[in-house]
Chains A and B, each alone.
Chain A
Amino acid sequence: MNERGGAIIEAQSLKKVYGDTTAVDGIDFKVKPGVVTGFLGPNGAGKSTTMRMILGLDLPTSGTVTVGGHRYQSEVWPLHEVGALLDARAVHPGRSAYNHLHSLAVANGIARARVDEVLEQVGLTSVVRKRAGGFSLGMFQRLGIAAALLGDPGTLLFDEPVNGLDPEGIIWIRALIRSLAAAGRTVLVSSHLMSEMALTADHLLVIGRGRMIADMPMSELIARHSGERVEVRSADPQWMAADLRAAGAQVTLEPDGMLGVTGLDSRKIGELAAERGHVLYQLRDVTASLEEAYFRLTGESVEYRAAAPVAS
């Protein structure tokens, strides 16, 4: 991937209200070049709305969002600056992949040869003349990525890029996203899957119900949500629990005799056990998974939630 510096995407008090629904509720963020920024949140949290506002498709109710200091609408040849994958299926079903890309290229003065180049890059060369109506979701996704790459832009937006891709395609898109950022581009990738973000993103913006819940490096998120709980197995769980409580820890006793301890780290627990003569079978830090961290962050802000199953 050739070196290409990206622009900073910056939102200030960005807000979007549709009727009586507030989709995005006054968020601020900065997306910087050279790293993959993950835009994470449950479905309906406001990710796509924010992306549409960045691209000038939806007009903010209030606040501003700029790419490289300008509103997107003021760009004359925007595909050279910004590439975007929004809804990959947004292709006329009767038009071929080639003509679809050709019409976009021509609109921005991009050479015809570049169309062939990106089609080869995404692996669609064999179906370029076929009508897009017969494409699988994975093929649409590749076509959408080809469209985003068309102008060799410094800034890229991908809305749920792995949707519908087969395992090979998923690995390919992850590598592509990482290489785009490594070459100095600005890359914003949205997903509702924490596991996907954990594999690609360096920095995370977590959004829930239109509000920014977290804006931090991935490493910080991991550090903040790990090592909170320690599991202890000992010869006399009751006695151990009493000693731990006396030392100021919160202790839960599981039916199988395992102790779940919070408020005291494993080192302190080990020292206490030696001092008091406890026999320890197991002492283990339980790292909260990123999924758990994500649920904790967004737990209050899930828009649509299934009711708990009712026993009949």
Chain B
Amino acid sequence: MSAQAGAIRLDSRLRATARSEWIKFRSVRSGPFALVATALIVVVGAWLLGAGNRNSAAASPASQAAFDPVFTVLQGIELAQLFVGALGVITVTGEYSSGLIRGTFVATPQRAQVLAMKALVFAAVAWACCTALSFAAFFLGQSVLSPAKHVGIGDPGVLTAVLGGGLYLTFVGLLGLFIGVLVRRTPAALAALFGLLAVLPIALILFKGTIASQLGEYLPGNAGEQAFHLLPGGAYTLGRWPGLGVLAAYVAAAAVAAFTLIRRRDA
């Protein structure tokens, strides 16, 4: 077979796998459910957070300078990430717990390809939805904030911070998806993901001290949320792109482990 024919065959095989994964994604309710929950939290959260911080106009010049109008209204993402992360987890564990994964691998024995297309479909949907929500939350939040310090989308650094909100949620979802492959059972995978995102940061706060705060900076959630800060956030100094890079490194590490194991393990 010529290399060209081989490439065409691989291309049609990949497209078939991606279409199959898309049909599976859209034909169960967990996707819409998790995304609607995410939308409610992020958008309603932006409105509440904007309204709650309106009176910052009367605050001292110092605290007004430290006020981050972008992060303030996008903070709902920190709660919504649990839904996007859980959706990533059950996209995979739902197949393992029902046993469907065997049917999937009988139809497509190229397991790495199945995982790659599953991740691609998930990431595309999550990124499109979460980026749209990040923009919606930003505009709604700024309009509610307006008597106080607020910014426009064209102001320096604002557009990337809003895009960062969508990217952050997408990475969290992918982290959940790859953890799902590693752990295979829904409750254990959810516990692992939520532990990493929500429990470890609090645990580290309890251990006060420089080492704890330095470690805290490199946790996936703490590092990644720098992506939707306009100003350097709180105790953390990593900054936007290095912070998102740290989160991406966690996702990449989980992905490498997932791709290795899914090919070696019995299904």
Give how many B residues have a beta carbon under 8 Å from the other chain's beta carbons.
31
Q: A147 — which chain B residues lie within 8 A by C-beta?
A: 103
Partner of B267, one of A58, A82, A95, A108: A58
Q: Is B100 on the interface with A (CB-CB < 8 A)?
A: yes
Is B17 engaged at the interface, CB distance under 8 Å to the other chain?
A: yes
Question: Which of A98-106, A212-220, A288-296, A303-311 forms part of the interface with chain B?
Answer: A98-106
Residues of A within 8 A of B143 (CB): none
In the assembled complex, which residues on chain A have CB atoms less than 8 Å from the CB atom of B95? 92
Q: Does B2 contact A (CB under 8 A)?
A: no
Q: How far is the CB of B22 from chain A (nearest CB, A)?
A: 9
**Residues 50-66 of A at the B interface (beta carbon under 8 Å):** 52, 55-59
Q: List residues of chain A with CB within 8 A of the CB of B94.
A: 92
Q: Which residues of chain B are within 8 angstroms of A169 by Cβ–Cβ distance?
A: none
CB atoms of B19 and A52 under 8 A apart: no
* Contacts A58-B267, A107-B17 given; does A95 touch B30 at CB 8 Å: no
The reply on B20 being an interface residue by CB < 8 A is yes
For the complex, is B146 an interface residue (Cβ under 8 Å from A)?
A: no
Give the contacting residue for A57; candidates B20, B27, B102, B264; CB below 8 A: B102
Task: Say if the beta carbon of A1 comes within 8 Å of chain B.
Answer: no
Q: Does B4 contact A (CB under 8 A)?
A: no
Interface contact A76-B13, CB-CB below 8 Å: yes
Shortest Cβ distance from residue B246 to the other chain A in the assembled complex, whole angstroms: 34
Contact A109 B12 (CB under 8 A): yes
Neighbouring B residues of A12 by C-beta, 8 Å: none
| Among listed A83-91, A199-207, A273-281, interface-contacting one | A83-91
Alpha-carbon distance between A106 and B19 when the two chains are bound, in angstroms: 7
Partner of B108, one of A52, A84, A89, A107: A107
Q: Which range holds the interface residue count of chain A?
A: 35 or more
Q: Is the CB of B27 within 8 A of A91?
A: no
Residue of B nearest to A87 (CB): B99
Alpha-carbon gap, A109 to B9, bound state (A)? 12
Encode contact with A along B9-29: 1 for CB under 8 Å, 0 otherwise: 100110011011101100111
A93 to B28, CA, bound (A): 9
Enumerate B105-147 residues with CB–CB distance to A below 8 Å. 105-110
Chain A residue with Cβ nearest B25: A103
Residue of B12, B20, B94, B95 with most chain A CB atoms under a 10 A cut-off: B20
Among residues of B, the one whose C-beta sits closest to the C-beta of A144 is B103
A107 touches B9 (CB 8 A): no
A103 touches B23 (CB 8 A): yes
Q: Does A119 contact B (CB under 8 A)?
A: no
Knowing A92-B94, A103-B27 are in contact, say whether A57-B106 is a contact too (CB < 8 A): yes
In the complex, number of A-B residue pairs with CB atoms less than 8 Å apart: 94
A139 close to chain B: CB less than 8 A: no
Whether the Cβ atoms of B27 and A99 lie closer than 8 Å is: yes
* B13, B95, B109 interface centre (most CB from chain A within 10 Å): B109
Q: How far is the CB of B130 from chain A (nearest CB, A)?
A: 23
Interface presence of B266 (CB below 8 A): yes
Residues of B within 8 A of A91 (CB): 98, 100, 103
A120 touches B (CB below 8 Å):
no
Given A87-B102, A99-B27, A107:B107 Cβ within 8 A: yes
**Chain A hits for B21, CB < 8 A:** 103
Cβ–Cβ contact B98 & A78, under 8 A: no
Chain A contacts for B19, CB-based, 8 A: 106-107
Q: Does A96 contact B (CB under 8 A)?
A: yes
Q: In the complex, what residues of B have CB within 8 A of residue A94's CB?
A: 28-30
Question: Known contacts A58-B266, A91-B100, A109-B16; is A99 also within 8 Å of B23 by CB?
Answer: yes
Residue of B nearest to A104 (CB): B107
Complex contact A93–B23 (CB within 8 A): no
User: Given contacts A78-B107, A79-B107, A108-B16, are A59 and B99 in contact (CB under 8 A)?
Assistant: no
Select from chain A the residue with minimum beta-carbon distance to B114: A107
Q: Mark B80-98, 1 if CB is under 8 A from A, else 0.
A: 0000000000000011001
Q: What's the least CB distance linking B36 to chain A, in Å?
A: 16
| Set of chain A residues within 8 Å of B28, measured between Cβ atoms | 92, 94-95
Most buried by B among A72, A76, A103: A103
Q: What are the residues of chain B within 8 A of A79 when measuring CB–CB?
A: 106-107
Q: B254: shortest Cβ distance to chain A, in Å?
A: 23
Q: Tell whether A136 is near chain B: CB-to-CB under 8 Å.
A: no
CB distance from A134 to the nearest CB of B (A): 14
Question: What is B's interface to A at a CB cutoff of 8 Å?
Answer: 9, 12-13, 16-17, 19-21, 23-24, 27-30, 94-95, 98-100, 102-110, 264, 266-267
A-B contact pairs, 5 of them (CB 8 A): A58-B267, A59-B266, A76-B9, A92-B24, A107-B17
Which A residues form the contact surface with B (CB < 8 A)?
52, 55-59, 72-79, 82, 84, 86-87, 89-96, 99-100, 102-104, 106-109, 147
